[in-house]
Structure 1
């Protein structure tokens, strides 16, 4: 019978980011922060894709818009003890933001996405087709059609004027 090795023997749930000759080790956040990061990422992808959102989704998006204090608090929550180290070491705010955003992406979308962002000048890369499709699959679809098809205006007016019991 197969047995599982202890996860702690091979799984590293921290993020290591090199800055100025030093490597900062960011510990994995707790589940609450992890879920918040995923909500933020999903909201950003939906907004970038220009998706129409219903009232419930709009409320969720509004709840994750951050002012400056909330952004700083989010970085503290994501980076944990490393946040204070960055200030003690004299890093500039833009670098701290880049580190914090990289950690946010790592938590929400994984290491590969974080590596892509880390190597940019601070601009998030546009989501790829697979990411957009995954976000669309998570969004709420209207109840109009189970297949996702829509009627054109012409077909709607034809259907509305057709008499009962006739076929087209």
Structure 2
């Protein structure tokens, strides 16, 4: 039987979030808490306040460091949601949120605004063509 090294010698289950050149360490939760997080991330009835309470508790000492370092609240929220998805889902889900969550905001805000502007421009152009044909 092969001799296995102690897992803690080479495996770190914690999450490290780089913000403004600093690494914030979020401790991996115990099994029971991780099971609760797995249910939380798929629960459509969770309110924003419940989500915030959960991620602030999960961030633990990292939250205190972020506050002391004057990290803006939206960045803390982003870090907290990433931690929820990392520990409640998996590392790839957390990383996807970390790198891509702004896409949802873009799709909800910027893209519709651009689409409306484009639609307005197209409508104006079509109106101009109709007026030219009538002349």
TM-score by structure 2 length? 0.68
RMSD: 2.0
Rate the CA distance shift 1:14–1:24 in 2: closer, same or farther, 3 A. same
Structure 2 residue 20 is matched with structure 1 residue 39? no
Q: Which ranges of structure 2 fall in alignment gaps of 5 or more residues?
A: 106-135
- Counterpart for residue 87 of structure 1: 67
Map 1:38-57 onto structure 2 (within 5 A): 38-44=38-44
Task: Quote how far apart the aligned CAs of 1:3 are.
Answer: 2.8
- Counterpart for residue 98 of structure 1: 78
Q: Distance in 1 between matches of 2:7 and 2:23?
A: 24
Q: Distance in 1 between matches of 2:34 and 2:99?
A: 23
Deviation string 1:38-79 (CA, Å, 9 cap, x unpaired) is: 0022335xxxxxxxxxxxxxxxxx4xx2352x3332122211
| Conserved 8 A contact 1:33-1:77 | no
- Counterpart for residue 2 of structure 2: 2
- Counterpart for residue 54 of structure 2: 74
Map 1:52-67 onto structure 2 (within 5 A): 62=45, 65-67=46-48
Rate the CA distance shift 1:109–1:71 in 2: closer, same or farther, 3 A. closer
Task: Quote how far apart the aligned CAs of 1:33 are.
Answer: 2.2
Task: Quote how far apart the aligned CAs of 1:88 are.
Answer: 1.1
Map 1:151-162 onto structure 2 (within 5 A): none
Aligned length: 104
Q: Distance in 2 between matches of 1:5 and 1:75?
A: 33
TM-score by structure 1 length? 0.56
| Conserved 8 A contact 1:106-1:113 | yes
- Counterpart for residue 119 of structure 1: 99
Q: Which ranges of structure 1 fall in alignment gaps of 5 or more residues?
A: 45-61, 125-168
- Counterpart for residue 119 of structure 2: none
- 4+ residue segments displaced more than 3 Å: none
